[in-house]
Amino acid sequence: MATYSRLFLLMAVPLLLLASLFPPSNALATAARVEPRDKIDPKLMQVLQSAATGEMISVIVELREKESLSDLKEKQRKNQIKKIIERLKKKAQQTQSKVIQLVESRIADGTAQSYTSFWMIYGLEVTGTPAVIQELAQLSAVGRIVRNESIAAPAAPPTALLNSRASFALQGGAPEANIALVNAPALWSQGYQGQGIVVANMDSGVDISHPELSARYRGGANSWFDPYGQHATPYDASGHGTWTMGIMVGGNGGGTSIGMAPGAQWIAAKIFNDQGSGTVAGIHAAFQWLLDPDGNPATADTPNVVNGSWTFQSPGCNLEFEDDIAVLRAAGVLPIFAAGNAGPSANTSYSPANNPSAFAVGAVNNNNQVYLYGSRGPAACGGPAGIYPDLVAPGVAIASTDLYGLYQQQSGTSMAAPHTSGALALLLQSFPGLTAAEQRAGLVNGALDLGALGPDNVFGEGRLD
C-alpha cells in the first residue's frame, strides 16, 4: 500500500481545469412563464379535485423569478456565504410580497391556515383550501405549486445483508477494513483527521450520548435543527442518523477506528420525525438552516460538508430540492447523497442524488464488488454526462455507532455516502478554499477505476480512494 492515499496524492491536481467541466446549475435562472392551470402539479390537481371545499391542504408555492448567484466569486468563504444569504433574502422580500399579502388575507377570512416563507428556495409553504391554491396559481409571481408531501425515512436494507440489531464487540486496534480500504489512515498519520472541519447530517437525528459522538458535537444553539419541534437537543429514534454520523466522525472507542474523519466536529438536521417520516417543507427548512445555522449571515457557522443518506420513495427525477442543493454549491458546500438501493437493474437512480447539482454515492464491498441492491444509472435528471452514481464507496457490512452506546453492522448506499463525506472533510482540511466543483474534481480524480474503463453507470468514476 502506498504511503499516501490516491485521494491525498491527486487532490492537488489542477482542479480548476476539471471544475470547468461542471458549470453551475441552471436551477437559479428565471423559470419560463406558464399558464395558471399548468402551474399546479398534476398529482396535486388530482388532490384538489377530490378534496372537500373547506379542506386544508399543505402545498409548496415556488416563485417564478429566481436569483442568479453565478457572479459571486468571493475569495473568503465567509464573505461568499454572507453575500449569498443577503442576496437571497433581498430577492425573497421583492418577490414574495404579493403572495404573502394574498395568503394573509385568506387567513383572515378563514380559507387559509398558515404559511412559512423560505428565502433559500424562492418559495413558501402554504396551507389553504383548494380555492386558495387555485387563486395562488393566478399570481404572475408564482411559477409552480406542488403538494407538501411526506417522505419516508430510509428503510432498513434487505435482511440478507443486514446483521442482527444486537450489538457486537469490535476487536483489535486497527481501523475497520472499510476505512483502511480507502486509505484514510495514511492521511491520519500525516495529521489530517478533519480538524477544523464541520460535517452535517440530514437524517433521523443523532444519539448524542454515544461515546464516539458526544465529544465531537460542535454544540451551541447553532448545531441542532428539528423542523418538527419534537426535540430541542440531538436525538435519534431509529438509529439511521447515528450510524451514518459514526462513519463520518466516529473514533476508536469500541476497539477499532470506525470513522473517516475522527477529528471533525458535527452538527445535524433531523429531517425525519420520530414516527419515521418527513415533509418537503421540513426538508427545505433544514437546507435553509444548514446555510445559516444561527440566523446571522455575518457569522461563519455553515458546515463544510453535508451528508444526505436518504431519497424519495421511488426512482426517477424529482427536482424539488435542486434549488437548495445549487445554493449550497454556490456557497462552497458539495452535498453528498446516497444513490439509493433499487438495483441491480439499470435506470434506478433516485432523487435528490440524481439532481444535476448533487453528488451521488453508490456502494461496494471490501473486495470492490458492487453492492447488489445499489441503484444504477444513467441519472434520470441528466447532469454532467448522465453518469450515475458519481462514485462508489464501502457500503457492505459496515461497522458504526448504534443507539444506546452500542455498535452495529449495516449495508447500503446510506453507509457509502458518509465515507465520501468523511473523505471530503479530510480533503477540505488540506485545501480549505476549494469550491464545490473543485471538491467534486478532487474526489473523482482520486478514485480507483472499477468495472468498464472510465466512468460507467455501475461504479461511476470509480471507488473512493
Partners of 401 in the β-ladder:
407
Co-location of 256 and 383 in the same domain: yes
Q: Assess if residue 56 is contained within a domain.
A: yes
Co-location of 266 and 332 in the same domain: yes
Say if residue 206 is exposed, middle or buried (CB neighbours under 10 Å; 0-12, 13-18, 19+).
buried
84-135 pLDDT, tens per residue? 999 999 999 999 999 999 999 999 999 999 999 999 998 999 999 999 999 9
Question: Is 414 a residue of the active site?
Answer: yes
> Residue 55 belongs to what domain range?
27-149
Q: What's this model's pTM, rounded to 2 decimal places?
A: 0.90
Co-location of 130 and 264 in the same domain: no
364-398 pLDDT, tens per residue? 999 999 999 999 999 999 866 789 999 999 999 99
pLDDT level of residue 273 (50, 70, 90 thresholds): very high
Give the integer Cα–Cα distance in Å for 204 and 272: 5
From the CB of residue 279, how many other CB atoms can be counted at a distance below 10 Å?
Answer: 21
- Looking up residue 108, the CATH number of its domain turns out to be 3.30.70.80
Co-location of 134 and 223 in the same domain: no
Query: Interior CA angle at 287 toward 286 and 288, to 5°?
Result: 90
Please tell me which residue in 210, 240, 284, 419 is annotated as part of the active site.
Answer: 240
What's residue 216's pLDDT?
97
Co-location of 368 and 381 in the same domain: yes
Name the amino acid, one letter, at 175: P
pLDDT level of residue 75 (50, 70, 90 thresholds): confident
Q: Which residue has the cell 446571522?
A: 296
Please tell me which residue in 223, 238, 414, 421 is annotated as part of the active site.
Answer: 414
Q: Which residue has the cell 475569495?
A: 75
| Domain total in the chain | 2
Question: Is 203 a residue of the active site?
Answer: yes
Question: Is 323 a residue of the active site?
Answer: no
Query: Interior CA angle at 208 toward 425 and 154, to 5°?
Result: 70
Please tell me which residue in 5, 25, 58, 203 is annotated as part of the active site.
Answer: 203
Sign of CA dihedral 419, 422, 428, 434: positive
> C-alpha grid cell for residue 265?
466536529
Give the integer Cα–Cα distance in Å for 401 and 168: 11
- Whether residue 344 has a cis bond before it, omega within 30° of 0: yes
Report CA Rg, the chain: 22
Give the integer Cα–Cα distance in Å for 231 and 211: 20
Strands (E), 166-316: 198-203, 224-225, 265-270, 277-279, 305-308
What's residue 17's pLDDT?
40
173-201 pLDDT, tens per residue? 689 999 999 999 999 999 999 999 999 99
Co-location of 345 and 259 in the same domain: yes
